[in-house]
């Protein structure tokens, strides 16, 4: 079994290194095209009607803020149609009805559409709302977004080119510095939005709508087959279908639309589970059609890397099971004993592509977005790498559910109305909105203890380099498991219930 464990270990590392190499190609494409800022080919002589679609579900903490910001958009009132698409089952419905009435009294063309049947979840709400949309252009905002007043003026004129089907703006982060988790999330998203989206779009690759903070041409959605709800990432699904139909998309990294990040671990896990599972569902649905299309090979390869990237979490879980056997059953081959540098020759490039490339990826994104402060983010890179490892159980579970067609509903990520000017943590701790509990944290905790033993044993054996390289594993699994387990404690649940009662009073 010696050579079996050893070879399997290196095969998994090579797989992870392959996705790391893909990140380096993204950096290359980004640097090559970062200055190719898209410009409207022409401007509308008369501004068209825009329908702002606001899909919400049980968002009592943020819906009022959302509608207030939408009412401040710098766009002619007679050209602005507001749709509040509400599927809520709590007092959010009362808040929505009240705030829409206020907008109507101010002269806004605002409609309140409440569904009692949540068929299709968000995709179903958007498809239903599109039937009543007065505008040919649909600007979509999730409940936790806070649009800047000039966002419509900065995006609408690109649609003067009839081949443009969608414009995506870059997400900003209202509560970036709220806690350690939000800071790391911001780095994750900055890498995706600043580097990946820019590189893909400006190099002629496929890129996708991020679900919010973007504007669609209604006829593009209809031509692509409309919103479908057979995946949990309806935005990615529709994006690929529309581009396969020949529609062009534009990503405007220079236009920012701020949003609220999840402030607790369970909310973050819920969001990541949905995104991961949905991407694999889209992979199963769209990848074959991409390879059947007439797009160039380099475009197809990049789309494949994009759609399959979350399989890396399965590889990471396999690595967790292979690390200890690889150390214990290292083959006593004469070649390795006589020439120990051979193993280092294999390890160094794999480590570079698997780890260093990831760190470089996020540093480049921070340098682009935070020119005078990017170096401060270096201290958070070990935490980012550890969190990525810790999330492997949660996200590998999502990948397996997608592979085996295990159906789950659209689980919303709790939002609490926390922004940069609001540091009160009571809003999050006392809210009744909580992510669904699961058994995943217990498995994460088991991994945490296991890798703690592995690291300690390497320290005892004076294998210092191995101990350092493996240290993110126990840190990451403790970081993802303990906050979730703490919330399951009876005393914690009682305190939350008491806080909700106090809030009601």
- The first and second tokens of residue 484, run together, are 């979730």
Distance CA 503, CA 505 (A): 5
Distance CA 100, CA 105 (A): 9
Distance CA 250, CA 161 (A): 11
Q: Is 87 a catalytic residue?
A: yes
Length of the chain: 505
111 strand-pairing partners: 83
Question: At which residue do the structure tokens 């203890």 appear?
Answer: 449
Phi (first) and psi of residue 333, to 5 degrees: -75, 140
Q: Is 150 a catalytic residue?
A: no
Alpha helices in 131-248 (DSSP H): 151-155, 180-190, 197-202, 218-223, 234-244
- Among the listed residues 111, 144, 190, 235, the single catalytic one is 235
Q: Strand, helix or coil at 7?
A: helix
- The first and second tokens of residue 224, run together, are 């692509």
The answer to whether the beta carbons of residues 414 and 435 sit under 8 Å apart is yes
Residue 430's contacts (CB-CB under 8 Å, 6 or more residues apart) are: 496, 499, 500, 502, 503
3-state secondary structure 421-470: CCCCCHHHHHCCCCCCCCCHHHHHHHHHHHHHHHHHHHHHCCCHHHHHHH
- Among the listed residues 87, 142, 237, 264, the single catalytic one is 87
Alpha helices in 89-176 (DSSP H): 92-105, 121-130, 151-155
DSSP state of 248: E
Question: At which residue do the structure tokens 């149609």 appear?
Answer: 81
Residues labelled catalytic? 87, 235
């Amino acid at each position: 079994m010696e050579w079996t464990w050893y070879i399997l270990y290196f095969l998994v590392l090579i797989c992870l290194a392959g996705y790391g190499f893909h990140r380096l190609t993204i950096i290359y494409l980004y640097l090559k095209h970062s200055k190719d800022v898209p410009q409207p080919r022409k401007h509308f002589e008369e501004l068209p009607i825009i329908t702002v679609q606001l899909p919400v579900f049980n968002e009592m903490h943020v819906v009022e803020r959302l509608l207030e910001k939408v009412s401040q958009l710098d766009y002619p009132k007679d050209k602005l149609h507001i749709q509040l698409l509400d599927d809520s089952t709590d007092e959010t419905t009362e808040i929505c009805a009240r705030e829409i009435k206020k907008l109507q009294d101010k002269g806004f063309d605002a409609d309140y559409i409440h569904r009692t049947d949540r068929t299709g979840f968000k995709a179903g709400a958007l498809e239903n709302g599109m039937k009543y949309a007065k505008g040919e252009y649909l600007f979509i905002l999730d409940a936790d977004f806070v649009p800047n007043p000039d966002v419509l003026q900065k995006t609408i004129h690109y649609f003067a080119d009839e081949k443009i089907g969608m414009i995506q703006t870059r997400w900003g982060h209202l509560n970036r510095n709220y806690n350690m988790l939000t800071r790391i999330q911001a780095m994750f998203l900055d890498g995706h939005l600043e580097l990946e989206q820019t590189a893909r779009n400006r190099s002629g690759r496929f890129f996708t709508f991020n679900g919010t903070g973007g504007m669609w041409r209604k006829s593009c959605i209809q031509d692509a087959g409309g919103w479908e709800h057979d995946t949990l990432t309806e935005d990615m699904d529709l994006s690929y279908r529309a581009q396969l139909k020949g529609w062009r998309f534009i990503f405007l990294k220079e236009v920012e639309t701020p949003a609220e990040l999840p402030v607790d671990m369970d909310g973050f896990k819920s969001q990541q589970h949905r995104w991961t599972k949905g991407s694999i569902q889209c992979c199963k649905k769209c990848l074959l059609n991409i390879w059947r299309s007439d797009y160039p090979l380099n475009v197809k390869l990049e789309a494949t890397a994009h759609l399959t990237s979350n399989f890396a979490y399965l590889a990471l879980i396999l690595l967790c099971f292979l690390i200890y056997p690889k150390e214990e059953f290292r083959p006593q081959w004469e070649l390795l004993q006589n020439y120990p540098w051979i193993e280092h020759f294999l390890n160094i490039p794999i480590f570079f592509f698997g780890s260093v490339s990831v760190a470089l990826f996020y540093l480049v994104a921070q340098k682009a977005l935070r020119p005078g402060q990017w170096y401060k983010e270096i201290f958070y890179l070990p935490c980012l790498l550890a969190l990525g490892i810790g999330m492997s159980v949660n996200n590998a579970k999502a990948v397996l559910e997608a592979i085996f067609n295990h159906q789950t509903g659209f689980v919303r990520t709790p939002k609490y109305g926390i922004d940069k000017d609001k540091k009160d943590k009571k809003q999050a701790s006392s809210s009744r909105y909580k992510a669904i509990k699961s058994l995943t944290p217990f498995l994460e905790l088991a991994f945490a203890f296991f890798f703690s033993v592995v690291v300690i044993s390497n320290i005892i054996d004076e294998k210092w380099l191995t101990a350092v390289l493996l240290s993110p594993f126990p840190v990451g699994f403790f970081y993802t498991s303990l906050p979730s387990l703490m919330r399951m404690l009876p005393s914690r649940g009682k305190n939350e219930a008491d806080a909700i009662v106090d809030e009601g009073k």
